[in-house]
Structure 1
């Protein structure tokens, strides 16, 4: 497989991170156009594929090099269609959605979301207690899983090796981009595992409480500005003033 020589890469969530304040999003991309290097774009979102494509069109966003959708369970590269199949194969090994669904049905306070993904079970939670109940019951079973609770209501149950962080790590290895200047950006709990990968990362100023509770770390920049304005702040902090190497 041919590997591109990528020097700078933005791996960003969409809603509430890259998208949310249109003027700041435009300013960020204008800023990137002025750089002496190209910035490779990777969108890492909780939206499913069709919903993401609609958002890209509505917000007039540039198309990314790679799209990681469905909370890190789907991966698309128009120049490498097999990438999706390689990632899918890794997720199939320990995924038992029928057993997980059976366990969740015995819990109260969870309403299924209609999500067109075979590697993701999603629910709306009525309370924190409902989330704790399903965690207890899943942990007491032998079924492998990863549960992500975000934005105070969204529960995603995934294969144990899925999630935004696992997907991004897989992508960087597959493409040979581990040594690029990578900035990771997010605003909610489903971004946590990629924010804490060890690459330079930004928690945008409008982040949800679950990211405000992250321990301080030199690789995690807490932006003052919201959405794409926070990405802009972090980019200058890491790559324009004091360039750093990632710690993984």
Structure 2
């Protein structure tokens, strides 16, 4: 059965292993997906590798991204991909969907975990209002405005000392309200404005690191057989949540200062090189 993606292009679902030996998670923008669409052969090689080893090595592969599910599906459509991943976690690890036998299945159990903790998006809006009253304005990122469990903003750079103090205050308010906040330099390659930071809020029970830990528990994956890839500061918690975490070599300078393990190559080639080295 084929999955009809945006634009009508058909993508094949991968074999979904019954007993999972390896969990492989990848950030999307500028990690798994190159916005300049320059790496068609590398994408095909990685695509074929994952599809093959999903069956013979019982690999579960998926995307863990700050982007919306609509943005991810659009990029899968315009990229050079032939296969859908086994799962996509969107909106900073607050939503989780599986792709099994050509069908999309939303993980309601994960959603219930977030709801049981009493999260309300009003909490984030209250933090936004408080920061504005203190002279720390955040600009909402419109594509994420309807995300149920998260909210994403831009913060414009100013004087480094002022930025550092403002970031400390943002983190303090987030912590007081049981929120996690990721603050990382924007990447203009994915359409973000230059000289800005991403400021992403979500419940402290969610996020990229939390979704990886949830998948490890859910599918009983051995901790030693967990792998993740990223390119920016908001991927660090995910990389720290697995045994084998790597930045691709095109990662931002900020991310490379925060995390020591960097693949030799960029994008899909970097991912494939590390997978063939780790999974024997």
CA displacement at 1:138 relative to structure 2: 5.1
CA displacement at 1:38 relative to structure 2: 4.2
CA displacement at 1:32 relative to structure 2: 3.3
1:78-89 matches, cutoff 5 A:
78-79=104-105, 81-89=107-115
CA distance 1:75–1:215, change in 2 (3 Å): closer
Q: Contact between 1:185 and 1:203, CA under 8 Å: does it hold in 2?
A: yes
The reply on whether 1:120 has 2:147 as its aligned counterpart is no
CA distance 1:68–1:87, change in 2 (3 Å): farther
The reply on whether 1:67 has 2:102 as its aligned counterpart is no
Q: Contact between 1:75 and 1:83, CA under 8 Å: does it hold in 2?
A: no
CA distance 1:190–1:117, change in 2 (3 Å): same
The residue number in structure 1 matching 2:266 is: 226
Which has the higher mean CA deviation after the structures are superposed, 171-180 or 62-71? 171-180
CA distance in 2, matches of 1:57, 1:14: 13
Which residue, out of 72, 77, 90, partners 1:52?
A: 72
The reply on whether 1:144 has 2:184 as its aligned counterpart is no
CA displacement at 1:44 relative to structure 2: 0.4
CA distance 1:164–1:23, change in 2 (3 Å): same
Please list every run of 5 or more consecutive structure 2 residues that lacks an aligned counterpart in the other structure: 1-16, 99-103, 187-196
The residue number in structure 1 matching 2:237 is: 193
Over residues 187-224 of structure 1, what are the superposed CA-to-partner deviations in whole Å (9 max), with x where a residue is unaligned?
011111010114211110000122211354xxxx4112
Matched residue pairs, number? Answer: 234
Which residue, out of 27, 50, 53, partners 1:13?
A: 27
CA displacement at 1:179 relative to structure 2: 4.6
CA displacement at 1:125 relative to structure 2: 1.5
CA distance in 1, matches of 2:173, 2:223: 40
CA distance 1:237–1:90, change in 2 (3 Å): farther
CA displacement at 1:48 relative to structure 2: 0.6
CA distance in 2, matches of 1:15, 1:185: 11
The reply on whether 1:28 has 2:54 as its aligned counterpart is no
CA distance 1:86–1:165, change in 2 (3 Å): same
CA distance in 2, matches of 1:31, 1:66: 17
The residue number in structure 2 matching 1:246 is: none
CA distance in 2, matches of 1:161, 1:237: 33
CA distance 1:84–1:215, change in 2 (3 Å): closer
Alignment RMSD (CA, Å): 2.6
**TM-score, normalization by structure 1:** 0.82
The residue number in structure 1 matching 2:10 is: none
Which residue, out of 105, 110, 117, partners 2:138?
A: 110
The reply on whether 1:173 has 2:217 as its aligned counterpart is yes
Please list every run of 5 or more consecutive structure 1 residues that lacks an aligned counterpart in the other structure: 241-248
- Counterpart secondary structure, 1:4: coil
